[in-house]
Amino acid sequence: MLQAGLALPRALEIASRVAGASGEALERAAAALQLGADWDHAWPETEPGADAGQLRAALHFAASTGAPSAELLFARARQLRRTRHRELEKRAGALGVRLVIPLGVCSLPAFLCLGVVPVLLAMIPTG
């Protein structure tokens, strides 16, 4: 909608209909912006990680300067994807480290029973 040139308050109003949990915050912000409220005062208080809060932060520059808001949203989306991808890579690496001990505990007895014990039994002199 923003890439097509729709005004920011109208785009927020339309997005609020499909936004799910953040829909109410978007609707209130759109209504306040259409009534002429300042950008900072138009948005209700949200949690720091909430979708509405992230959208507010991403569009703040566009609203205050008149910059193209669609490109700002695309850049923010790319940044969020990179951040989440790096976080998932870190978690996957940590999982490998955390699995070493349980796998060792499970495979060490099998190695001892099937590899070391038969060799030791074969080395015992018969007599």
How far apart are alpha carbons 21 and 44 in whole angstroms?
Answer: 14
- pLDDT recorded at residue 73: 87
How far apart are alpha carbons 27 and 54 in whole angstroms?
Answer: 15
Its pTM stands at 0.62
How far apart are alpha carbons 32 and 43 in whole angstroms?
Answer: 8
- Give yes or no for residue 3 having a pLDDT over 90: no
- pLDDT recorded at residue 67: 81
Hey, how many other C-beta atoms are within 10 angstroms of the C-beta on 33?
21
- Give yes or no for residue 27 having a pLDDT over 80: yes
- Helix ranges (H only) for the chain are 8-16, 23-34, 39-42, 51-65, 69-98, 100-111, 117-123
- Give yes or no for residue 96 having a pLDDT over 80: yes
pLDDT tens digit sequence for 97-112: 899 888 888 899 999 9
pLDDT tens digit sequence for 41-64: 888 887 766 788 888 888 888 888
How far apart are alpha carbons 2 and 15 in whole angstroms?
Answer: 11
